[in-house]
Structure 1
Amino acid sequence: MPKFPLLSLLSALLVAVLAACAGTNVASNAPATPGAPSLAEVYADNFYIGAAVNARQISGRDTAGLRLLASDFSSITPENVMKWEEIQPGPDTYTWELADGYVELGERLDMWIIGHTLVWHSQLPAYVRETTDPDQLRAYMEDHIRTVAGRYAGRIDGWDVLNEALNEDGSYRESVFYKVLGEQYIVDAFRLAAEAAPNTQLYYNDYNLNNPQKRQGVLRLVKLLQDNGVRIDGVGMQGHYNLNGPPIAEVEASIDAYAGTGVNVMITELDLTTLPNPWDLDGADVNQDFENSPEMNPYPDGLPDSVSTKIADRYADLFDLFLRKDEAVTRVTLWGINDAQTWLNNWPIRGRTNYPLLFDRESRPKEAYDRLLTLKDN
């Protein structure tokens, strides 16, 4: 299992270095009591504890978030800055500043660095999204993967090569890549990534991978790559969960199934929505959006203690499973550092106040954080 021996003293030192590099005056006053174990330290012998970071943290503007990152996490994933439309907005145009800053941040903090994501149907620039010629689309994909993965070869530890390529029934999503290139694009994407970054782990990442039908689709995808002699090192199970579901047994069954193919399993994009979802939506399709209403935003001024306890209970149940499966699970990544950052404030309804992470809007530890610190002692 991965081990990340992050000491509290080292955390404080790293924060000070980070502050100097970012040109900010950051005091090393992380919420945890000085000398107390951090989240990363508690789980160091089990799996990496990751967080998604955004442009404000990469640029050094979110000093509170950076303190938490240094004190309690051992892995980072970029929330948006490495997605295709951000990093290559035109066929011959690359914007490296934030992506370079992200990798440099991970290196300064000695993190396990994830690249997210090389091929995805969403957040694509128009020149890719509207391509109908197979040779042209193949050339775009080859150039993008070789250039981006190649630039960070030896610096990024794991790439989400392919993101959300399946429908809920396990069939292939009708993305531009699948419609124009067929399932061969999956084989080509992983082969190109392996060539461009031979020492980097390569992952498939998707949501609702606890669902039995979608699970079968992932198993078919992994087998496709393995049968073609193409390397895949892990499956990322996005954990966009809620207080009532999915059932722990379903999550466990999927972890076991994916591990059975010989790949590692990561819990990625973990958060627990606390708000009502009357449309009974599944997953995390970022193209869905709905008009706000007071009934759908029940906690604008703070979360009741009873709900905070439910969040803590749910996180404890999930981490108890991850600990039992730590031979397969190599990383657990929260999709954000604190509640102010979470994408769930604006999805599926904009302007709501959600509470899905371990630190509140002021970067203070929540009941769920305290529960996870002591879970292994119980």
Structure 2
Amino acid sequence: MNRRFFLQTAATVLGTQWLSTAKPSWTHPLFMAMVDPALEAAIPLSDRAAAKGLLYGAASTARKMQQDAAFASAVARECNLFVPENDLKWKALRPSPEQFDFTRGDWLAAFAQAHGMQFRGHTCVWHEALPEWFDQVVTHQNAEQVLTEHIRTVVGHYAGQMHSWDVVNEAIDPVGQGADGLRDTPWKRLLGADYIDIAFHTAAAADPNALLVLNEYDLDYDIPRDAAKREAILRLLRALVARGVPVHALGMQAHLRAAETDFDPVVLRDFLRQVADLGLKIMVTELDVVDQDLPRALHPRDLAVAHTYQSYLDAVLQEPAVIAVLTWGLSDRYTWLTNFRPRSDGAAPRPLPLDSLLHRKPAWSAIASAFDQAPSRLISN
């Protein structure tokens, strides 16, 4: 690729200010990803993360891993942490009120163990992905029993195997949801705000060694919606810690938007520091980059996505409390954005480190560069 054309294209997508600030060279990792065939032989993301005391992982499903050996091999190569995308959600685990089906989760746990990866759970409590029988069976009278039985059974089943659990997922909605900032979910309607405390206490009793996480989205940008979310999550975390609820970490989903301009690393780092000051760890749990509003052309689109990864991780990884980064998927071959954030031009989205042919992209190189430049943690988590 002609260097001048490449820089002009990058300037069109990202703006000349970024190019002058970043002081690009033809050997910059983002550029090398497009021209250097040796990238395929470079050190995997798992090893780069581990060198700094971090974990890198990705999400997928048992079916995809079982049916696609090449993809499973890429996951084993790139990751030292794995999370089931759907296989540990209520709908997957609970075919009936009396039955638990651990078939897919157990297969993934065995895969992770066989390949030296740590395993994490997603999710104990969420307002979506509930089984069809839920509304007919769960009432105000039995809701606490149903919730605690589920968590005791599922978390207990994997006790000793889990690095961490997303115990409560997406509990915050500060706009129009009342003074407490909590989302109006089936669990809140049935049990009140106490459902969060109940869930964490039950999970801690079922597996005292797992890191217990409160997972949330829209915490990343310097816009009113995200600012309100950050304030609400801080209020909730402070209250949980003050009550002695065993919450150990904040999970930041980080579904980023490459066309978004309202990203302020200073604001984000200040938020992370406030979380860390509560004595909590931080995990980036569902990272990907939406390319919905970017040009169709692959090179400028890939570069913009890569720049989003790099700028976000460069800010986040400065906080020592951040212990892990997980992308929500590894390859563009399998991404939820195909159905949930489709492009108007019909082009396949390209939000992840590997392309649909499992080749490393500029996004991979951006993540690798962010790990390489991150401060070392003293202890790998």
Q: Separation in 2 of the partners of 1:66 and 1:340?
A: 12
**Runs of 4 or more above 6 Å deviation:** none
One-letter amino acid of the counterpart of residue 229, structure 2: K
Deviation for aligned residue 1:32: 5.5
Q: Counterparts of 1:8-87 in structure 2 under 5 Å?
A: 33-34=40-41, 36-44=42-50, 45-59=52-66, 61-87=67-93
Match of residue 124 from structure 1: 130
* 1:237 pairs with 2:252: yes
Write out per-residue CA displacement over residues 44-97 of structure 1, whole angstroms, 9 at most, x where no aligned residue. 1242111001123442x2112212112111111110000001101211011111
Which runs of 5 or more residues in structure 2 are unaligned?
1-37, 221-225, 375-381
Deviation for aligned residue 1:367: 1.6
One-letter amino acid of the counterpart of residue 360, structure 2: P
Instruction: Answer 1 or 2: higher relative contact order, Cα 8 Å, separation at least 6.
Output: 2
Which runs of 5 or more residues in structure 1 are unaligned?
1-30, 277-296
**Percent identical residues:** 31
SS in structure 2 of the partner of residue 43 of structure 1: helix
Match of residue 336 from structure 1: 329
* 1:195 pairs with 2:205: yes
Aligned residues: 323
Q: Separation in 2 of the partners of 1:174 and 1:199?
A: 31
One-letter amino acid of the counterpart of residue 68, structure 2: D
Deviation for aligned residue 1:200: 0.8
Q: Counterparts of 1:274-293 in structure 2 under 5 Å?
A: 274-276=291-293
Write out per-residue CA displacement over residues 202-239 of structure 1, whole angstroms, 9 at most, x where no aligned residue. 00001112322111221222223223222111000011
Match of residue 111 from structure 1: 117
SS in structure 2 of the partner of residue 338 of structure 1: coil
Deviation for aligned residue 1:257: 2.2
Q: Separation in 1 of the partners of 2:135 and 2:171?
A: 15
Q: Separation in 1 of the partners of 2:342 and 2:39?
A: 33
Deviation for aligned residue 1:248: 3.6
Match of residue 286 from structure 2: 269
Which of 242, 248, 259 is the aligned partner of 2:276?
Answer: 259
Match of residue 366 from structure 1: 361
- Aligned 8 A contact 2:353 2:361 in 1: yes
Match of residue 140 from structure 2: 134
- Aligned 8 A contact 1:131 1:137 in 2: no
One-letter amino acid of the counterpart of residue 156, structure 1: M
With normalisation by structure 2, the TM-score equals 0.79
Deviation for aligned residue 1:372: 3.4
Q: Separation in 1 of the partners of 2:269 and 2:156?
A: 35
Match of residue 282 from structure 1: none
Deviation for aligned residue 1:122: 0.1
Q: Which shifted more, 50-59 or 138-147?
A: 50-59
Q: Separation in 1 of the partners of 2:290 and 2:367?
A: 18
Which of 218, 223, 243 is the aligned partner of 2:238?
Answer: 223
* 1:247 pairs with 2:244: no
One-letter amino acid of the counterpart of residue 68, structure 1: A
SS in structure 2 of the partner of residue 332 of structure 1: strand
Shift in alpha-carbon separation, 1:95–1:371, aligned structure 2, 3 A: same
Q: Separation in 2 of the partners of 1:80 and 1:98?
A: 10
- Aligned 8 A contact 2:310 2:369 in 1: no
- Aligned 8 A contact 2:40 2:360 in 1: no
SS in structure 1 of the partner of residue 340 of structure 2: coil
One-letter amino acid of the counterpart of residue 238, structure 1: Q
With normalisation by structure 1, the TM-score equals 0.80
SS in structure 1 of the partner of residue 183 of structure 2: coil
Deviation for aligned residue 1:156: 1.1
Q: Separation in 2 of the partners of 1:173 and 1:263?
A: 22
Q: Separation in 2 of the partners of 1:262 and 1:130?
A: 40
Deviation for aligned residue 1:377: 6.1
* 1:347 pairs with 2:364: no
SS in structure 1 of the partner of residue 241 of structure 2: helix
SS in structure 2 of the partner of residue 204 of structure 1: strand
Shift in alpha-carbon separation, 1:215–1:108, aligned structure 2, 3 A: same
Shift in alpha-carbon separation, 1:52–1:161, aligned structure 2, 3 A: same
* 1:320 pairs with 2:317: no
Write out per-residue CA displacement over residues 147-187 of structure 1, whole angstroms, 9 at most, x where no aligned residue. 00000000111000000011143711111110111011110
- Aligned 8 A contact 1:204 1:235 in 2: yes
One-letter amino acid of the counterpart of residue 154, structure 1: G
Shift in alpha-carbon separation, 1:305–1:58, aligned structure 2, 3 A: closer
Write out per-residue CA displacement over residues 109-158 of structure 1, whole angstroms, 9 at most, x where no aligned residue. 22121100000000101332455632311111011001000000001110
Q: Separation in 1 of the partners of 2:301 and 2:126?
A: 35
Match of residue 204 from structure 1: 214
- Aligned 8 A contact 2:342 2:349 in 1: no
One-letter amino acid of the counterpart of residue 272, structure 2: I
SS in structure 2 of the partner of residue 135 of structure 1: coil
